[in-house]
Amino acid sequence: MTDAPDGAPVIIAAGNSRLAQTAVSLSGPAQENGWRLIILRAPSCVFTPGIDSYLGAECDAHNDAALEYIDQVGPEAVAVSTTMVLHEGPERVDRVTEETVPALLGDGVDVIALRDAPRIAENPVVCLEAGGTAEDCTQPLDRGTMPEGRPDAAVLEDLAARTEEDGGGEVLPVDLLPITCPRGACPPIIGNIHVMFDEDHLTATYMESAGPEVERQLEDAGFRW
């Protein structure tokens, strides 16, 4: 959570550990603009309130409590992963877009639609510690898993069109794949900062450095702090 004065506008990010790491990219812009960022996370628990998760009752209860907290706080914006990258198969649209995102938009809450983080075949830290160079430890992005275009684009466009017609919050897509795996290659280090700390998670330090890019994408989507 970022420091902010009482009564400051609020962004709540909700999801699993991968979402929590990506959401760190919002911390710098939020702090600089006087907003409070709150991150609600549970390991491996994808934020899909009202939809039974594969993890069972504990994850479902966490999601219900997270949604209740969001309703109580009444944030100006909520950040969620609207795509999902599993260990097998192509990236797909996250089910949070089915009920939760439309409901938030209908309540006048802006939704920051974060694209899920990539997964890579091998731990880049292990590769570097074994003596590999940054070039040796760069891994290709599997375009069969994560294509250049995000798979939820049409869904987000439809949601944006509906809210424009009926009124409500804004849909704000953010895609950090171009700066985590530029030109289809996933280097272990960019700008002297480790990008991922294992096969599945971005580092908080690299996500902090991504703040200016997140701010640019949000402003391009029409968001105003």
Is the pTM higher than 0.85? The answer reads yes
Can you give the chain as a three-state secondary structure string?
CCCCCCCCCEEEEEECHHHHHHHHHHHHHHHHCCCEEEEEECCCCCCCCCCCCCCCHHHHHHHHHHHHHHHHHCCCEEEEECEECCCCCCCEECHHHCCHHHHHHHCCCEEEEECCCCCCCCCHHHHHHCCCCCCCCCEECCCCCCCCCCCCHHHHHHHHHHHHHHCCCCEEEECCHHHHCHHHEECCEECCEECECCCCCECHHHHHHCHHHHHHHHHHCCCCC
Could you read off the pLDDT of 133-189 as tens digits, one per residue? 999 999 999 999 999 999 999 999 999 999 988 889 999 999 999 999 999 999 999
45-97 pLDDT, tens digit each: 999 998 877 677 999 999 999 999 999 999 999 999 999 999 889 999 999 99
